Every structure is written in structure tokens, then in C-alpha cells.
Amino acid sequence: MGSGLTGEFSLSLRVYIEDTDAGGIVYYVNYLKFMERCRTELMRSLGFDKNFIFNEELMFVVRDVSVTYLKPAKLDDELIATAHITQIKGATMTLQQSVRLATEVLAQGEVTIVCVDKQGLKPRRIPKSMVEKIQAAPL
């Protein structure tokens, strides 16, 4: 399955004191947390909440992540995290993600997640029902 499977999903976030360093700048690892929240809400919006995942006896784990940091976010900024599924292939799903302040991209990256069996943590194909629903999503 090729590129451009869905449109862009977005999630509004606020920067709190616990997200920042002593200078009031968002600590670099928190961008990954913002992206994770966005991926979770994207899946939830498609009907794949934690109950669905647990009932299917599967989990998604991050295999690869690459982030480029362009500008810092600061305390009390209202950010937008985005996710766009670009590829689904067998057991993997690749997403392009960003964290923005209004229209300005602060961090952008690519994340590849792998579907694994919950018990043995071995890769397994993403269920066909999930793939079909993602491909049909009007995001």
C-alpha cells in the first residue's frame, strides 16, 4: 500500500511547566511525547482505542524514529501536533509527524511503528480490518 493513505490528523496541545527546562523551553524528548499523543488520538479517531487493541491481542511499538528540531516551543505555547500515515506494509505503518506553533513547524519527523503479538512481542501483520478502515478514512 502506497503513499498518502490518509489526510493529516491534528491535536491541540498546551506547553506546561513540566514540559520545559529551566529556561522555559520545551525539552527535546517531549516533542516525541506530543507526537505519541497525536498517533494515539489518530488511532482512537479511527475506532482503534485501547479496548480494540487489547481485544485483538496486539500492540504497536516504535521501530524507528527520526526528528528534526527547527525552532523551540516555550512555556504556555498552544501547539498543534500532526500525524499523516504515509505507508502500511505488512506489520509496519509509517507516519510523517510534526509539532507546530500556528503554521510554523517547530519539529518534524518520521515514525515507523510495528504491529506485534501482545504475548510474544513478535511482529504480526496489521489486521486487514484496520488497514481497510485506515485506507477509507476521510481525514
What confidence score (pLDDT) does residue 54 get?
A: 76
Given 19, 21, 49, 117, the catalytic residue: 21
Give the CATH number of domain 9-134.
3.10.129.10
Helix, strand and coil in the chain, % to nearest 5: 25, 40, 30
User: Of 17, 20, 23, 42, which is closest to residue 31 (Cα–Cα)?
Assistant: 20
Phi, psi of 19 (to 5 degrees): -85, -10
Domain ranges of the chain: 9-134
Whether 76 is catalytic is: no
Q: Which pLDDT score is estimated for 2?
A: 38
Reported pTM? 0.90
pLDDT at 50: 83
Q: Kindly report, residue by residue over 11-60, the tens digit of the pLDDT.
A: 999 999 999 999 999 999 999 999 999 999 999 999 998 888 878 889 99
